[in-house]
């Protein structure tokens, strides 16, 4: 009997060339931190990013134990990912600490798999996103999903928005400097006596009129 749960198979042939849609994605508990990054990338390739992605992880992504049903939110998975990656000193709750160690948080539950799911509708194909997420967890690159938006990735969209914002700020700064220069040119400069365009010979001036 194949011990690999449905939704976590390695895939062969065309499975490695194309992320096949899956209706259910079971993830080994030790891979939940990687699942967060994989799902974020998969959603980004479908055009979901920024605030929309944050809201989706906060209220539309869950991971539940396949045995006892205990669930955590997408935001909890994000905390796991931060602890597992760039912030190892980040404090976790007791429940997330047990997940990070590879166990179901519920005492007595011996399950080693959680079911990752997107529980709210969106402008993306849920099953294709889950299939792409599975491929990324397993280390398979595969083709990127067809985008519903003009931007290729959420990270790329962020870079473009920052570039546009930078250009706008630079334009405002240049306009401000030009305005101030025009203003100061019309004002006398302190401690500097402006040179008059007219000159008068001192000898021609009546000393009684000085």
The residue extents of the domains of the chain are 14-149, 150-187
In total, the chain counts a number of residues equal to 210
DSSP classification of residue 105: S
Mean pLDDT of the chain: 75
Tokens of 128: 């294709």
More confident residue, 24 or 167: 24
**What's the sign of the alpha-carbon dihedral 91, 94, 96, 97?**
positive
Q: Which residue has the higher pLDDT, 192 or 92?
A: 92
How far apart are alpha carbons 68 and 109 in whole angstroms?
A: 7
Q: How far, in Å, are 30, 82, 93, 181, 184 from residue 98 at the CA level?
A: 10, 15, 9, 63, 66
Q: State the average pLDDT over residues 150-162.
A: 55
Amino acid 135: pLDDT? 92
């Amino acid at each position: 009997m194949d011990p690999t749960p449905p939704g976590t198979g390695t895939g062969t042939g065309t499975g490695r060339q194309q992320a096949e849609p899956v209706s259910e994605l079971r993830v080994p508990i030790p891979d939940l931190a990687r699942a967060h990054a994989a799902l974020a990338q998969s959603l980004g390739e479908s055009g979901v990013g920024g605030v929309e992605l944050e809201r989706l992880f906060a209220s539309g992504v869950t991971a539940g134990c396949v045995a006892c049903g205990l669930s955590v939110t997408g935001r909890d998975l994000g905390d796991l990912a931060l602890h597992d990656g760039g912030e190892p000193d980040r404090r976790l709750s007791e429940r997330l600490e047990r997940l990070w160690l590879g166990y179901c948080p519920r005492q007595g539950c011996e399950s080693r798999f959680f079911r990752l799911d997107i529980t709210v509708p969106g402008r993306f194909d849920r099953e294709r996103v889950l299939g792409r997420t599975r491929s990324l967890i397993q280390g398979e690159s595969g083709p990127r999903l067809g985008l519903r938006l003009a931007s290729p990735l959420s990270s790329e969209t962020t870079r473009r928005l920052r570039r546009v914002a930078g250009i706008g700020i630079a334009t405002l700064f240049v306009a401000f400097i030009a305005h101030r220069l025009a203003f100061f040119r019309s004002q006398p400069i302190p401690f500097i006596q402006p040179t008059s365009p007219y000159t008068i010979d001192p000898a021609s001036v009546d000393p009684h009129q000085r």
